[in-house]
A and B are shown apart, each in its own frame.
Chain A
Amino acid sequence: MGFTVSNQGDVTVVDVDGQLIVGNRQELKQRVLDDLAGGARKFVIDFSETGYIDSSGLGVLVSLSKKIREKGGELRLSSLNEDLRTLFELTKLDTLFRIADDKAAALEGF
C-alpha cells in the first residue's frame, strides 16, 4: 500500500497501489496538498493498481477536488476497476469527477 508520484509535463500523476482507506488517506491528501501549495494545478490520480477505496478515501478525493478547483485547477481520476466504478456510481461521485478509462486518456488534452 503506497503512492507513487510523477510528473507528466505540468500534470502531477499519483498512482495508488493497494487500497485508499482510512489508514492511508491522510498521506495521499497531504502529498497532493503539498504539490498544490507548490503551484501544481493539474492532477491525475490513477487506480489501475488499486483494489479498494473506502468511504473515507472517497471523502478525501471529494475534498481534494474541491480544494484544487478553488485554486483554478482540476483533478481527474483514471483506471477504476468494476467494483470501484460501482462505488462511484452508487455515491453519484461519477457525476463530480472526470473519470477516464486509463491514465493516457486522463492526460489527453489536459
Chain B
Amino acid sequence: MRHDLVLEIPSDPAAIQNAVDLVVRRCDGSDYCRRKLELNFRVGLTEALANAVLYGSEKDPSKRIRLEIIFLAKRIEARVTDQGPGFDPCTVPDPTTPENIERPGGRGLFLMRELMDEVHFNEIGNSVTLVLHLEPPAQLDDVASA
C-alpha cells in the first residue's frame, strides 16, 4: 500500500526537526524498520534538509524547501529540493581522512551516504533523493534455498 506526503517548509533551521518528526511518525514497521527509521532515516533526512536550508537556500526565509516522501512496502524514498543553484557533490571531501577530520563541515553528505541505502542527486545538485530499504538483507541460506 502506498502513501505520499508532500511538505513545503521555510528555509529556517528551526523548521527541520518538526518536519523530520512528522515524517518519521508516519512510518510504520517492524523492530528492524524502527531502528533504521530512528537512526538512519532520521539522520539522513535531517542532514538533507539542513544542507538545503544552510547552503541551498542560504537561510533566506523567502525561499522554500520541498520535501516529497513516497512510502512503499519495502522502501521509503525522500526527495529534498531547494531553490538554490545546486552544487557538485563530488567536490565535497571525505571528512574522515586525517587531513579533513578537524574541519568543521562536510559530514552531512557523508552521513547521508553512510546511513541511507541509496543517495541520488539531480544534475544541478539542488535536489537529493534518499532511499531507505525496509527489509533486512537476504541471508546466504535464503538465497541458496530460493
Which residues on A are within 8 Å of B, measured CB to CB? 19, 21-23, 52, 54-56, 58-60, 62-63, 66, 83, 86-87, 90-93, 95-96
Contacts and interface: CB of A to CB of B under 8 A. Distances in A.
Interface in B74-118: 95-96, 101-105, 107-108, 110-111, 114-115
Contacts of B102: 62, 66, 96
21 contacts: A21-B17, A23-B13, A23-B14, A23-B16, A52-B42, A52-B46, A54-B47, A55-B50, A55-B108, A55-B110, A55-B111, A56-B54, A58-B107, A59-B104, A59-B107, A66-B102, A91-B95, A91-B96, A92-B101, A95-B101, A96-B102
A87 B103 CA distance: 16
**Secondary structure dominating the interface of A:** helix
A81 to B, nearest CB: 10
Contacts, number: 65
The contact size tier of chain B is 20 to 34
Given A54-B43, A56-B50, A22 B101 contact: no
A57 to B, nearest CB: 10
B39 interface: yes
B104 A87 contact: no
B9 to A, nearest CB: 13
